[in-house]
Structure 1
Amino acid sequence: MSVQWDESEAARLTAAQLSAEGVVAVAFTWVDNAGIARVKGVPVRRLAEASAYGVGMSPVFDVFLADDSATTSRWIGGPGGDLRLFPDLTRAVPLAAQPGWAWVPADRVQQDGRNHPGCQRLFLKRMVERALAQGLTFRAAFEVEWIVQRSDGGYPTQGPAYGLQRVTDLSDYLRDLLQALEAEGLEVQQLHPEYSPGQFEVSVAAEDPLAAADTSVLVRHTIRGVSDRHGLRACFAPAFEPGGVGNGGHLHLSVWRGDENLFSGGPGRHGLTKEGEGFLAGVLEQMPALLALGAPSPASYLRLVPSHWAGAYACWGLENREASVRLVAGLPRVANAEFKSFDLSANPYLVLGGVIAAGLAGGGTLPEEVEGDPAHLADPPPRLPSSLDQAVEAFSASTLLAEAMGEPLYEAVRAVRRAESEQWAGAAPEALIAATRWRY
């Protein structure tokens, strides 16, 4: 089934409304397999036309690496071919931190109107439709962590981890960020200092999976825009300095059948329903392979280490922040699972699509839960991959993800992971961090 588009009155009304709000140009964005948000800008006066006919963009970006070099894959790569970007105007929003600009996520379609098999956003849509055919829906949200620095390399606050002093020192900056996010229609639930120097975290309300992935992109680029206006740089990379805890991009997800949250009110452990436990068991089983989607940078494995609350072990537990799958129990409306191994070098559409595919193929039972730090147990659970090479091996063995993603997307992702792994083989942590610190 191909993406439907038109040059309807709705598109012209959107353009007129944006123009009335001072918008001059619209950023059409998608996220590549290296986790980089790419863009084509369109004058707002051309928005209706671009919505009808799309905007051209080469498919080669599916095999771009984080440093803007490129590899190739069996199906995608090289200078030939072209795609069309079609905006999802239901998400069009003026950017509060970049006056005169609006943002809209885009799907990628082939020249003949068929869906591009390498489009990550369309992959997520397929997985949502697959779940809906089974009567399941989801509520999802990504936590966004970032570190701010001044242009001279210093931290704008010396406040302690989770300390009120950081909020006091940067109260104007944080106030402007909240105002910008809310002006863009986002519902912020929490904003607080994190563990590392100059580090903060923002959490937004759960949405359907596609909206949650779109929102993750919008939140990060809003943070970047507000930071720039305050003379700061925002880092979302998984590793900021050797030995540091880095930035996570934890995914929170709940699974629903009608009005029933499958992670609450059931007869299983901590209120899990049988179906909810089966979903989590499927994700946990595929977690080594899912790291190729959710921890896709060689630098991800500088963060993904034991005893750092990063989820370095293939295990689950109630409110256990060292487990890769943390069950957040509570009232039926808020019970969810947090997948802690993921970071913000990931493409959020790939992460959510992969998790949904793994969960839908589950149906088994979870192993015994882990309490406390798995690294301190006499018989610890299996360690998740400790390098991108190991994650790629697990990904290459996952027939489940290969089927769900389709061969062109699956092969392109694997080619990018292998190329980045080879690119940084044997590199010192300092060099790897320096190369990736400001890329995501």
Structure 2
Amino acid sequence: MSIGTVTADSAAGASSSGPTGGLDGHLAAVALPPRAERAERAEAAADRLRTAGVEAVAVTWVDNAGIARVKAVPLSGLVRAAQWGIGAAPCFDVFLADDAMTTSPVIGGPTGDLRLYPDVDRAVPLAAQPGWAWAPGDRHTQEGAPHPGCQRLFARRMAAAAAARGLGLKAGIEIEWVVALAGAPQDEPQYPTHGPAYGMHRLTDLSDYLRDVLRALGEQGLNVLQIHPEYSPGQFEVSLAPEDLVGAADTSVLVRHTIRAVSARYGLRVSFAPVVEAGTVGNGGHLHLSLWRDGQNLGRGGSGPHGLTAEAEGFLSGVLGAMPELLVLGCSSPAGYLRLVPSRWAGAYQCWGLENREAALRLVTGSTGERSATANAEIKCFDASANPYLAVGAVVATGLAGLDQRLALPPEFTGDPAAAAPGTVPRLPAGPAEALAAYEHSAVLREALGEPLYQAVLAVRRAEAEQYADATPEQLVAATRWRF
């Protein structure tokens, strides 16, 4: 049926209010502020943006295929957009990465409409697109109720579920991309640099370009920690300072928009796809996450492995146990499984270890003297085809479930799991079908997402799995490399 038939009451009834804060839990965290308040905040944002020379605002959301979609308004229309929203059809929740459309039991079809509300507090002038600003959007029904399929609102609900336990979360998503000379969509990538992996040669070849990437990110108020050449041809990575859960997902979207805009100015195009050339190391979207209570990092000072507190260990154990189903949300494209190859630091095995880059869950303590500030966990099996809001929200949902059950981590694994005796270390799903089977058995994710969003994700993943079931790796890569 159409989402147009989903009311606030029926949406809330689609999921229970269990420990992860299902669709009817933590509604205050996702409710629209009063219209007058929205107008006042938008007027202040418009004044700030006007001073920066902004004439139009791009308002984005990310669909379940991992594609950022956009509606834009002139700056003169920002206040009205904040008051009344921008029309946005619900069918985008069942779009595939190639713009084909599927359907789900709740969302799909031509009927119904939603309102996209810009988060004006996050609006920022785009340094590489003069005259433009960007803001992430939240989607609500025409009656003002939270849209049950809104991925950003899902991430906000999960942050609220953690906050209800007195827990804070800091997160950051690494951005890896491949830069190539501009060309037609069907063209194989031609690289502007052929320097060695991680080599200064690459930075020298593209020093002006990378400087302008850094400059644009800095002018947009983003705190860059490092930027460097990566392993594959034409590949680079940028890391930013950790933020709150939703802020980190917002930043990952903004960073990719910015890199793409700077690249276009240099006659270059970029790919954030999981794999750009079949058989090569791909682009990851590693998620770093730390858990805090009362200003204390729960990854330090405890009696658990490497100083983990019991809460942090339970949280990470819940995440590790749910890795197969989490791939549906963190490794979204079928092409992602071409990246998830053993012995390539992609995290292809369901294990954890201190600074183990082959483990799906890598524990990072940081350097002596700063560990109380820097200790975190890295999820290495995720890539940039993921909707970042779904990825961070789902990780928190499974982590809170593990915390509530007071789970303990299994024994740590050191070294390369691929070299272990067969069956010693579980391999993560090697394709979409196995991951989807795990997802369909996950009561935690079903409750946390709520039935409309859970089913929409399932429909998109099934459709894309069927779409590329008979494709060769080369065909799959060619079909997806310029979509992300």
Q: Would you say 1:58 and 2:71 are equivalent positions?
A: no
Residue among 406, 425, 431 paired with 1:381: 425
Is residue 18 from structure 1 mapped to residue 49 from structure 2 by the alignment?
yes
CA distance in 2 between partners of 1:439 and 1:209 (Å): 25
Contact 2:282–2:339 under 8 Å retained in 1: yes
**Do the aligned residues in 1 keep the contact of 2:45 with 2:121 (CA within 8 Å)?**
no
CA distance in 2 between counterparts of 1:300 and 1:96 reads: 31
Pairwise CA distance, 1:20: 2.3
Contact 1:5–1:86 (8 Å) recurs in 2: no
Question: Is structure 2 residue 307 aligned with structure 1 residue 271?
Answer: yes
Question: Which residue, 338, 344, 348 being the options, matches 1:312?
Answer: 348
Aligned partner of 2:393 among 347, 353, 369: 353
Partner Cα separation in structure 1 for residue 168 and residue 440 of structure 2: 28
Q: For 1:371 and 1:428, locate their aligned partners in 2 and report how far apart those are by CA, in whole Å.
A: 34
Q: Counterpart of 1:361 in 2: which secondary structure?
A: helix
Question: Residue in 2 aligned with 1:230?
Answer: 266
Among candidates 346, 361, 370, match of residue 325 of structure 1: 361
Q: Unpaired segments of 5 or more residues in structure 2?
A: 1-26, 184-188
Report whether the alignment pairs 1:126 with 2:157.
yes
State whether structure 2 residue 198 is matched by structure 1 residue 159: no
Tell me by how many angstroms 1:43 deviates. Answer: 0.5
Counterpart CA distance in 1 for 2:166 and 2:290 is: 14
SS class of match (2:73): strand
d(CA) in 1 for partners of 2:308, 2:34? 41
Name the counterpart of 1:369: 412
Provide the C-alpha distance between the structure 1 equivalents of 2:84 and 2:107, rounded to a whole number of angstroms: 23
Q: Structure 2: how far apart are the matches of 1:4 and 1:66?
A: 33
On the 8 A contact 1:264/1:335 being kept in 2, the answer is yes
2:461 maps to 1:417 = yes
Q: Distance in 2 between matches of 1:16 and 1:254?
A: 36
Structure 1 stretch displaced more, 152-161 or 167-176 = 152-161
Q: Distance in 1 between matches of 2:48 and 2:302?
A: 47
Q: 2:78 aligns with which of 47, 56, 59?
A: 47
- How far apart are 1:258 and its partner, in Å? 1.2
Structure 2 contact 41–121 (Cα < 8 Å) conserved: no
Is 1:3 aligned to 2:26, yes or no?
A: no
CA distance in 1, matches of 2:41, 2:340: 46
Q: Distance in 2 between matches of 1:263 and 1:381?
A: 24
Preserved CA contact (<8 Å) 1:328 1:338:
yes
Which among 245, 251, 276 is matched to residue 215 of structure 1?
251
Distance (Å, rounded) in 2 between the aligned partners of 1:240 and 1:222? 20
Q: Which residue of structure 1 aligns with residue 328 of structure 2?
A: 292
Deviation, structure 1 residue 4: 2.0
Matches within 5 A, 1:255-270: 255-270=291-306
1:30 paired residue number? 61
User: What is the CA–CA distance in structure 1 between the aligned matches of 2:33 and 2:141, rounded to whole Å?
Assistant: 12
Q: In 1, Cα distance between the equivalents of 2:407 and 2:470?
A: 39
Asked if the contact 1:142/1:212 (under 8 Å) is kept, the reply is yes
Give the alignment's Cα RMSD to 1 decimal: 0.9
Check the 8 A contact 1:294/1:351 in 2, yes or no. Answer: yes
> How many Å apart are 1:389 and its aligned residue?
1.2
- What is the CA–CA distance in structure 1 between the aligned matches of 2:283 and 2:263, rounded to whole Å? 17
**CA deviation after TM superposition for structure 1 residue 13, in Å:** 2.3
Residue 408 of structure 1 pairs with residue 452 of structure 2:
yes
2:121 matched to 1:85? Answer: no
1:272-295 Cα distance to aligned partner (Å, 9 max, x none): 111111000000011100000000
Aligned-partner Cα distance in 1 for 2:467–2:320: 29
Q: Are 2:132 and 1:101 aligned?
A: yes
Q: C-alpha offsets along residues 114-145 of structure 1, whole Å, 9 cap, x if unaligned?
A: 00000000001111111111111111000000
Taking the TM superposition and a 5 Å limit, the aligned residue runs for 1:179-194 are: 179-194=215-230
**Cα distance, 1:426 vs. partner?**
1.4
1:434 aligns with 2:478: yes
The answer to whether the 8 Å contact 1:298/1:420 transfers is yes
Counterpart amino acid of residue 171 in structure 2 = A
Residue identity matched to 1:292: V
- Specify the code of the residue in structure 2 equivalent to 1:25: A
Question: Aligned partners of 1:95 and 1:347: how far apart in 2?
Answer: 21
Contact 1:5–1:51 (8 Å) recurs in 2: no
**Which TM-score applies when normalising by structure 2?**
0.90
2:231 to 195, 200, 208: 195
Structure 1 unaligned blocks of 5 or more: none
Amino acid at match of 2:467: Q
Report Cα offsets for 1:40-84 as digits up to 9, x if no partner.
010000101111000000000000000000000000000000000
- Percent identity reads 63
